[in-house]
Amino acid sequence: MEEFIGMERFNIVPGAVVLSGRQTMIVLWDEGPDVIACPLVSADEALHRADHSLEWHELVDAGLRRLDVRCRAIPCQRQVLSLRAIGCVDEATVKRLRMMAQREWKHRFQESVPSSKVRAKPRHVGKTTAVWFDGCSMSSRREERLHMG
């Protein structure tokens, strides 16, 4: 119970706009001493399927100085104690971003499941070298621990 009181004291609750290092994020879920948040990215970055535009009034209400950002609905786990609240968004925005984050999580999960048509090479055939993606998820250890429902 003390952890949740601590989160509220720091204003780190779902809907909070926070700084994690230099990265601005929107908190979508709280997980005890951790939160699940999605980063805000500059509008001039390459568009990603998980990007979601926010209305200008949502960005102003969030306490942001820049209005040329999008929310990249890729859930990341962060420790509450490492965050600093700078603003907040309303409940409707949080619900919309949660749906986008869950959709992106499902896409990533489907991409990580090997297709039944893909045949793996037997392990004894030749040596292999490390590659970025070998039929497994490219997600970080933090992402692998997330359980989106």
Q: Whole-model pTM above 0.75?
A: no
Tell me the domains of the chain and their CATH numbers. 2-144 (2.30.30.110)
Side-chain half-sphere of 51: how many Cα atoms within 13 Å?
Answer: 14
Within the chain, residue ranges assigned H as helices are 2-9, 56-61, 91-112, 141-144
Q: Which of 18, 35, 4 is nearest to 98 (CA)?
A: 35
- Burial bucket for residue 11 (CB in 10 Å: 0-12, 13-18, 19+): middle
**Per residue of the chain (149 residues), what is the pLDDT tens digit?**
444 444 454 679 999 999 998 899 999 999 888 999 999 999 888 888 888 988 888 888 888 888 889 999 999 999 999 999 999 999 999 999 999 999 988 887 888 777 666 555 555 555 544 434 444 444 555 555 555 55
Does an H or E element contain 20, and which? strand 16-20
